[in-house]
Structure 1
Amino acid sequence: MSPMLVDADAIRALADILTETGLTEIEVAEGDSRIRVARGGTVTQVAATPFAAAPAAVPVAAAADVANHPGTVTSPMVGVAYLTPDPSSAPFVTEGQSVAAGQTIMLIEAMKTFNQIKAPRAGKVVRILIASGDPVEYGEPLAIIE
C-alpha cells in the first residue's frame, strides 16, 4: 500500500469548523481515503487513513474508558449543558457528592427549552465530564455516578 499524502489545508479547515461549531469531531471521505479530526480536551487530534486500512489508532483511551463505564450518564440530546439552574446559583451537584435516583444533576438547553438531566441511580458523583456552557452531543458522556 502506498503512503497517503495528507492535505494540511484540509485538516486546518476541518479544525476551524470544529472550533466554529463546537463539535467534537468531524470526518470527511473522498475516494479511498478519509480524514477525521477530533477534539479531545484542549488538543486537536488528526487521523488520515485509507478506507481499506484499519481504523485510525488515535482514539483517546480515557474517553473510551469513560464511555464504557457502567455509571456514565450520557446526553439524551444535542444542546448546551448547564451545571447550575442560573448563573448566580450553586451547581446542582459537585464531584464527591451523593445523589439520589431521579435527582437533577444538570440541564441541557435544546431549542430554547431547559431539560433536566436526572441521576439514573443513587450513588456518588465521581466525575463531571463537561463544564457549564459546553455544547454536548447525543450520547456524549456527561458525568460518572458510582
Structure 2
Amino acid sequence: MSKLDIDKKAIRELAEIMNETGLGEIEIETDDHRLRVSMSTSVAAPAPLVHAAVTAAATMAAVAEPAAPADVSNHPGAVKSPMVGTAYMSPEPTAPAFIQVGDTISEGQTLLIVEAMKTMNPIAAPKGGKVLEILVSDKEPVEFGQPLVIVE
C-alpha cells in the first residue's frame, strides 16, 4: 500500500470502533505503515484539578506514514507512557505545568497526566533526579510505550 493508497473501509471500521467505545483516537501499525484515525476534541470548562475533554463533531483525520524510529526510547531515564491517551502537562488548563526541564524531582512525583477513556491517569516519576527533557507537549496524543520524559 502506497502512502496515497488509503484503505477507506479500514478507516470507516476504525471510526465505528471509536464511536462504539468512546475512544478519541485509534492507531494500527504494520511493518512499514501506520494508520491513525482521531476525532477532534475540545476542552470544556475544567473541574478542579482535572481536564475535561469533550468529543466534538465527527471530524476525522487519517494518517498513513512509515513508522519513524524512536531514538530516545532506550535511554535509561526514559519515562514511557503506560497507555494510549492524551498527555496533559498540568492539573488544569490555567495551572502551571507539573514539571519543567531542569527541575529536580523526587520518586513518585507526578510528571504529567495521560487521559485515557475519560480517566485522568497521573504518571509518576519512577525515580528521583533531574528532568533533562520533556518529549511531549500539552494535549498531545501519546502511544503505549512512547517516551514522555527523560529523568537522570
The alignment's TM-score, normalised by the length of structure 2, stands at 0.62
Q: Report the Cα distance in structure 1 between the residues aligned to 2:33 and 2:92, rounded to whole angstroms.
A: 36
**Cα deviation digits, residues 112-139 of structure 1 (max 9, x gap):** 1111101100000000000010111111
Structure-2 residue corresponding to 1:101: 107
Number of residue pairs aligned between Structure 1 and Structure 2: 116
Whether the aligned pair in 2 keeps the contact of 1:11 and 1:46 (CA below 8 Å) is: no
**Cα deviation digits, residues 90-117 of structure 1 (max 9, x gap):** 0000001000000011011112111110
Q: Report the Cα distance in structure 1 between the residues aligned to 2:124 and 2:86, rounded to whole angstroms.
A: 16
Gaps in structure 1 of 5+ consecutive residues: 1-5, 29-33, 48-57
RMSD of the TM alignment (CA)?
A: 3.2
**Cα deviation digits, residues 19-56 of structure 1 (max 9, x gap):** xx766x7545xxxxx642489xxxx9955xxxxxxxxx
Whether the aligned pair in 1 keeps the contact of 2:6 and 2:64 (CA below 8 Å) is: no
Gaps in structure 2 of 5+ consecutive residues: 13-23, 37-62
Give the structure with higher Rg (CA): 1
Whether the aligned pair in 1 keeps the contact of 2:3 and 2:64 (CA below 8 Å) is: no
More helix by share: 1
Residue 141 (structure 2) pairs with residue 144 (structure 1): no
Structure-1 residue corresponding to 2:75: 69
Identity %: 43
Residue 16 (structure 2) pairs with residue 10 (structure 1): no
Whether the aligned pair in 2 keeps the contact of 1:11 and 1:37 (CA below 8 Å) is: no
Residue 126 (structure 2) pairs with residue 132 (structure 1): no
The alignment's TM-score, normalised by the length of structure 1, stands at 0.64
1:74/1:10 CA distance change after superposition, 3 Å: same
